[in-house]
């Protein structure tokens, strides 16, 4: 009896600490499996959107960091110092923080954030027809992505 208790006590830390370093396998899917037929690179997403504010597409990019595990909130590198803020449509998805630095394929809806730089909500607040106020927009926070499905690529 003492031997079995001693054996359990000695093996328990190995089991607990061993689970944290399990590598994520290639091809693991979170949410729905994304369609990879018409895939574009994350650094070309904004140019691909053009003047459209919302499009449904599949994007390949590298995850910079997982900002919130529950709900699947993460940042994707869009090149040239830009970041795509992404989150899952289904809040029940939990992403591990180990995804940072991995290349993924994600399918969903890309949306440009609306920035009211001319303060349209304050209609009539202009002086002689010129813009009175100016808002500095952050070019790093322009596109958001609502993910339906994510596939670990590399």
Residue 78 exposed, middle or buried by CB count within 10 Å (0-12, 13-18, 19+): buried
Q: Residue 94 falls within a domain, yes or no?
A: yes
Q: What are 21's two structure tokens?
A: 């370093």
Q: Residue 11 falls within a domain, yes or no?
A: no
SS3 readout for the chain: CHHHHHHHHHHHHHHHHHHCCCCCCCCCEEECCCCCCCEEEHHHHHHHHCCCCEEEEEEEEEEEEEEECECCEEEEECCCCCEEEEEECCCCCECCHHHCCCEEEEEEEEEECCCCCCCHHHCCCCECCECCCCCCCCCCEEEEEEEEEEEECC
Domain span at 70: 26-152
pLDDT along the chain (154 residues), means of 10: 61 53 71 86 86 88 89 87 87 85 90 65 52 49 83 84
For the chain, what is the domain count? 1
Indicate which CATH number applies to the domain containing 51: 2.40.50
pLDDT at 107: 92
pLDDT at 59: 92
pLDDT at 98: 86
pLDDT at 60: 92
Q: Residue 7 falls within a domain, yes or no?
A: no
pLDDT at 140: 47
Q: Residue 34 falls within a domain, yes or no?
A: yes
Q: Residue 52 falls within a domain, yes or no?
A: yes
Q: Residue 61 falls within a domain, yes or no?
A: yes
Asked if residues 147 and 31 have their Cβ atoms less than 8 Å apart, the reply is yes
Q: What are 34's two structure tokens?
A: 């994304």
pLDDT at 90: 85
Q: Residue 13 falls within a domain, yes or no?
A: no
Q: Residue 20 falls within a domain, yes or no?
A: no
Tell me the pairing of strands 54-68 and 39-41: parallel
Question: pTM score, two decimals?
Answer: 0.67
């Amino acid at each position: 009896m003492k031997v079995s208790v001693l054996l359990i006590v000695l093996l328990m830390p190995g089991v607990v600490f061993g689970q944290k370093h399990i590598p994520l396998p290639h091809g693991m899917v979170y949410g729905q499996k994304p369609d990879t037929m018409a895939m574009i690179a994350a650094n070309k997403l904004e140019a691909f959107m053009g003047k459209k504010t919302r499009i449904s597409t599949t994007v390949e990019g590298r995850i910079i960091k997982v900002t919130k595990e529950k709900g699947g909130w993460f940042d994707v590198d869009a090149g040239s110092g830009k970041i795509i803020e992404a989150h899952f449509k289904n809040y029940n998805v939990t992403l591990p923080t180990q995804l940072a630095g991995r290349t993924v394929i994600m399918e969903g809806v890309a949306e440009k954030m609306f920035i009211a730089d001319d303060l349209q909500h304050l209609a009539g607040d202009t002086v002689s027809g010129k813009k009175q106020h100016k808002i500095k927009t952050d070019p790093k926070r322009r596109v958001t992505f609502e993910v339906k499905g994510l596939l670990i690529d590399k």
